């Protein structure tokens, strides 16, 4: 097998990985603090994609239409996430996990049908922004600028979130909330606001990744339930609640998917599910997570 081909597979896997990281990072943040697996995260991602498409339609004349659409979509989804958390979700804290899981599943059902009602069932697509339209040839493999941008954005977001979590006061409060919610509340911090903030940030990341994926993938109903399983796998591989685990989990996922296709051509999906199962069996807390009590 020629080296350039393998390199192409590697780059393809890396692009997939960084997309998945953008999506899964929000899921991981919410799980880390609130201990809730949010099935609706995939729906937020899908809404981000649809909103971006909508804004691009409105702004066809503007040269920066795509970038405005990306920001608007992420902000719109963030607001929706905040409203849902404030009005509904907070009433389920302290209830059994099953009820929280099913609540987020109810959102999946409702948001999926709402998107269908608004945007229909046909495939929609957004063209690449003009500034990133071309590509560069590396080792006989054409690498689109857009993919390069995503490959740079993923680590940038990772470092950014990590800096906020470790260096800022807000980040310290978030980490404290993840460790011991009651103690933090006793010390006078408003845990409710921290939770809302986490949910907003996580929805923002979901909306952002949904908007950014539109030039590469067409927008279709069902992308929500498909992506959420992939994001779960990434988060579980890296370790539930571990932020860097999610980063390396997505890198591993991308490569396993990319090279899995070469080994089992028709069972590439199988290879990533099997990876998740093996990791859960050997290290249930994931590669970078810590065992929970």
Partner 1 sequence: MTVPWSGNRIPWTLMVFLAALWVPWLGSRYDTFLGTQIAIDALFAVSLNLLLGTTGLVSFGHVAYFGIGAYICGILMKTYGVPFALALPAAWLGAAGFALVFGFFCVRLTKIYFAMLTLAFSQIAWAICFKWNGVTGGDQGLPDVPYPDLDWMSALPGLDGLRVSDRFYLLTLALVAVSLAALRRIIGSPFGRMLTAIRENPERAAFIGVNVRRYELAAFVVAGGFAGLAGALFGIFNRGVFADYLYWTKSAEVMIMAILGGMEHFWGPVVGAATLVMLNQQITSYTEYWPFVLGVILLVLLFAFPGGIVGGLVAGVNWLRRRGGGRQSA
Q: Which residues bind partner 1 (CB under 8 A)?
A: 35, 37, 88, 91-92, 95, 97-99, 101-103, 105-110, 112-114, 116-117, 225, 229, 232-233, 236, 240, 266-267, 269-270, 273-274, 276-277, 280-281, 284-285
Q: Which is nearer to partner 1, 19 or 103 (CB)?
A: 103
For 59, the 3-state DSSP assignment is coil
Give min distance, CB of 195 to partner 1, in A.
18
Q: Which is nearer to partner 1, 130 or 278 (CB)?
A: 278
Dihedral angle at the C-alpha atoms of 223, 52, 108, 225, nearest 10 degrees?
10
Give min distance, CB of 28 to partner 1, in A.
13
Give min distance, CB of 292 to partner 1, in A.
8
Q: Which is nearer to partner 1, 1 or 91 (CB)?
A: 91
Q: How many CB atoms neighbour CB 143 within 10 A?
A: 19
Give min distance, CB of 152 to partner 1, in A.
31
Q: Which is nearer to partner 1, 116 or 172 (CB)?
A: 116
Nearest to 24 by CA among 247, 224, 173: 247
Q: Which is nearer to partner 1, 208 or 236 (CB)?
A: 236
The answer to whether 257 and 229 have CB atoms below 8 angstroms apart is no
- In degrees and rounded to multiples of 5, residue 138 shows phi and psi of -120, 125
Beta-carbon contacts of residue 235 (< 8 Å; ≥ 6 apart): 24, 27, 28, 31, 245, 246, 249, 286
d(CA 179, CA 95): 19
Give min distance, CB of 14 to partner 1, in A.
23
């Amino acid at each position: 097998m020629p080296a350039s081909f393998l390199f192409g597979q590697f780059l393809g896997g890396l692009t997939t990985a960084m997309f998945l990281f953008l999506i899964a990072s929000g899921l991981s943040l919410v799980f880390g603090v609130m201990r809730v697996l949010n099935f609706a995260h995939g729906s937020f991602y899908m809404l981000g994609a649809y909103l971006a498409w909508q804004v691009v339609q409105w702004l066809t004349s503007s040269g920066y239409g795509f970038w405005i659409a990306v920001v608007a979509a992420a902000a719109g989804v963030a607001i929706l996430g905040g409203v849902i958390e404030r009005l509904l979700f907070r009433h389920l804290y302290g209830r059994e996990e099953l009820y929280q899981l099913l609540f987020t599943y109810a959102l999946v059902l409702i948001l999926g049908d709402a998107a269908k009602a608004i945007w229909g069932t046909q495939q929609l697509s957004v063209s690449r922004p003009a500034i990133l339209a071309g590509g560069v040839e590396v080792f006989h493999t054409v690498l689109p600028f857009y993919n390069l941008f995503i490959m740079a954005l993923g680590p940038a977001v990772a470092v950014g979130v990590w800096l906020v979590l470790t260096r800022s006061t807000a980040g310290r409060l978030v980490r404290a909330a993840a460790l011991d919610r009651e103690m933090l509340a006793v010390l006078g911090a408003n845990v409710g606001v921290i939770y809302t903030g986490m949910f907003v940030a996580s929805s923002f990341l979901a909306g952002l990744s949904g908007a950014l994926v539109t030039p590469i993938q067409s927008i279709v109903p069902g992308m929500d339930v498909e992506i959420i399983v992939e994001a779960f796998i990434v988060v579980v591989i890296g370790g539930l609640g571990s932020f860097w685990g999610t980063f390396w989990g997505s890198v591993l996922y991308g490569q396993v998917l990319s090279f899995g296709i070469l080994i089992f051509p028709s069972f590439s999906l199988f290879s990533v599910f099997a990876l998740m199962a093996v990791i859960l069996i050997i290290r249930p807390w994931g590669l970078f997570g810590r065992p929970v009590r």
